[in-house]
Structure 1
Amino acid sequence: MNKKNTIIIACIAFSIGYLFRQQQDNKQYIKPEKALISVKESFQKKYEVSGSWIYMKPETFLKNDLQYEVYHGGITKFIDNQHVPYEFYIDAHTGTLIDMLPQHG
């Protein structure tokens, strides 16, 4: 093998490695604690938050015929002297809030 072929092979290997790394980065989850903090901070701007929780394992969530990998959690707002629980679903990859709804008892 001559020097030119070695350089070409090295460049190809580097490119493949780089693309593989980009794909792996896209599949990584954010930490559930970070997702919970972002929801709490968002709601604390408008409401007093009296409690919160989050499942640590991502789950599949279907909304509008789209499938997401989400963290499922809950937050309790203190509104009009009452504790009002809500459930939320937050994208496990991006941290985007997908859905929030009153928690059913």
Structure 2
Amino acid sequence: MKWKSFILGAAVGFIGGYAVKEILSQKTNVSPEKVLETVKKQFKEHGPISGSWIHMKAESYEKHPMQYHVYKGGISRTNHGENEQFEFIADASSGTILDIRKFSNEL
């Protein structure tokens, strides 16, 4: 066995393993479009949607002692002839909905 070949193979294996580890450890966000699609799917189970929106850039959000990067968005729908509007906050890394708030029509 040639030592040069062995050392070269070990070095390539080590560098390749390290590169894979780094790629897998990078945190990636769910796309905002995917988050909005999921939220709309959940709302459609309770009636038709008349509009929706989402901020395309994730922002910091604190809920209790936890810090998140989140997408904020909104859904509007008609329920029994009344227009209802909701704001949602979803975790950018998993797409999980953290909070939903209904806007009041009263001024």
The two structures have a TM-score, normalised by structure 2, of 0.87
* Distance across 2 between alignment mates of 1:8 and 1:103: 61
CA displacement 1:25-55 (0-9 Å, x = unmatched) = xx22222111111100111011221111111
Deviation >3 Å, runs of 4+: none
Matches within 5 A, 1:65-76: 65-76=65-76
1:95 equivalent in alignment to 2:74? no
The alignment yields a C-alpha RMSD, in angstroms, of 1.6
Q: What do residues 3-37 of structure 1 show as CA deviations (whole Å, max 9, x unaligned)?
A: 1111111111011000011012xx22222111111
Could you tell me which amino acid in structure 2 is paired with residue 20 of structure 1?
A: E
Structure 2 match to 1:54: 54
Q: Secondary structure of the residue that 1:51 maps to in structure 2?
A: strand
5+ residue gaps, structure 2: none
Which residue of structure 2 lines up, in the alignment, with residue 13 of structure 1?
Answer: 15
Equivalent position amino acid for 1:85 in 2? Q
The alignment covers a number of residue pairs equal to 103
Q: Which AA in structure 1 matches 2:13? A: C
Residue 3 of structure 1: aligned partner: 5
Question: What is residue 83 of structure 2 aligned with on the other side?
Answer: 83
CA distance in 1, matches of 2:64, 2:47: 28
Q: In the aligned structure 2, how far is the partner of 1:77 from the partner of 1:66?
A: 31
1:40 and 2:55 correspond: no
User: What one-letter code is carried by the residue in structure 1 that aligns with 2:16?
Assistant: F
Gaps of 5+ in 1: none
User: With structure 1 as the length reference, what TM-score do the two structures score?
Assistant: 0.88
Match of 1:88, SS? Answer: strand
CA distance in 2, matches of 1:103, 1:67: 24
What's the CA shift for 1:58?
Answer: 0.4
